[in-house]
Structure 1
Amino acid sequence: MADPPFELLPTRWEKPVTNFLLNLRGREKVEVVTTDMWKPYRKAVKIAMPQAVLVVDKWHVMRMANDAMETARRVYQGGQGISKETRKQLKKGWSIFLKRPYQLSPKQLLDLDGWLKNTPELAGAYECKEQFMDIWKARTATNALARLNHWRDNIPPHLYRLFKPVVTATTNWEAEIMAYFTTGRQWTNAATEARNRVVKMTNRIGAGYSFNAIRARALFGKRPGRVAKEKKDAQAEPAPASPRYLECVSCKALVPRGDHWKYDEYYVDGHVFEVAALCADCARFNTEEWFGAEGHSTPKSE
Structure 2
Amino acid sequence: MKFICSDMWKPYLKVIAKKAPQALNILDRFHIVSHLTKAVNQVRIEEVKRLKDEGYDESVLRHTKYCLLKNPENLTPKQEAKLDDALSYDLKSVRAYLLKESFQLFWDYDSPYWAEWYLDKWCKRAMRSRLEPIKKFVKTVRSHQPLIMNWFKAKKAYSSGIVEGMNRNVNLVTRKAFGFRSYEVLKIALFHTVGGLPEPESTHRFCG
Same fold (TM over 0.5): yes
Q: How does 1:238-253 map to 2 (within 5 A)?
A: 252-253=199-200
Distance, in Å, in 1 between the alignment partners of 2:134 and 2:22 is 33
Q: Which residue of 1 aligns with 2:103?
A: 132
List per-residue Cα deviations over 1:67-105 (Å, max 9, x = no partner).
111112222223322447x1xx63433211112333335
Q: Which residue of 2 aligns with 1:291?
A: none
Contact 2:166–2:194 under 8 Å retained in 1: no
Q: Which residue of 2 aligns with 1:32?
A: 3
Contact 1:37–1:56 under 8 Å retained in 2: yes
Distance, in Å, in 1 between the alignment partners of 2:64 and 2:129 is 24
1:190 aligns with 2:137: no
Structure 2 residue runs of 5 or longer lacking an equivalent are none
Counterpart residue type for residue 130 of structure 1: E
214, 221, 227: which one pairs with 2:191? 221
Distance, in Å, in 2 between the alignment partners of 1:221 and 1:130 is 38
Distance, in Å, in 2 between the alignment partners of 1:219 and 1:49 is 35
Distance, in Å, in 2 between the alignment partners of 1:226 and 1:150 is 45
Cα distance change, pair 220–99 in 1 and its aligned pair in 2 (3 A): closer
Cα distance change, pair 110–91 in 1 and its aligned pair in 2 (3 A): closer
Greater relative contact order (CA < 8 Å, ≥ 6 in sequence): 2
Cα distance change, pair 223–115 in 1 and its aligned pair in 2 (3 A): closer
1:118 aligns with 2:65: no
Counterpart residue type for residue 157 of structure 2: Q
Cα distance change, pair 94–205 in 1 and its aligned pair in 2 (3 A): same
Percent identity between the two aligned chains:
24
> Which protein is richer in helix relative to its size?
2
Cα distance change, pair 69–218 in 1 and its aligned pair in 2 (3 A): farther
Contact 1:56–1:180 under 8 Å retained in 2: yes
Counterpart residue type for residue 196 of structure 2: R
2:26 partner SS: strand
Shift of 1:225: 5.5
Cα distance change, pair 150–198 in 1 and its aligned pair in 2 (3 A): same
TM-score, reference length from structure 2: 0.80
Say how many residue pairs are matched.
Answer: 201
TM-score, reference length from structure 1: 0.57
List per-residue Cα deviations over 1:145-191 (Å, max 9, x = no partner).
11111111122545342213311221221111111111111210011
Q: How does 1:6-155 map to 2 (within 5 A)?
A: 31-78=2-49, 79-80=51-52, 81-83=55-57, 86=59, 90-105=61-76, 107-155=78-126
Cα distance change, pair 110–132 in 1 and its aligned pair in 2 (3 A): same
Structure 1 residue runs of 5 or longer lacking an equivalent are 1-29, 231-251, 256-273, 276-302
Distance, in Å, in 1 between the alignment partners of 2:190 and 2:79 is 42
1:162 aligns with 2:141: no
Cα distance change, pair 219–159 in 1 and its aligned pair in 2 (3 A): farther
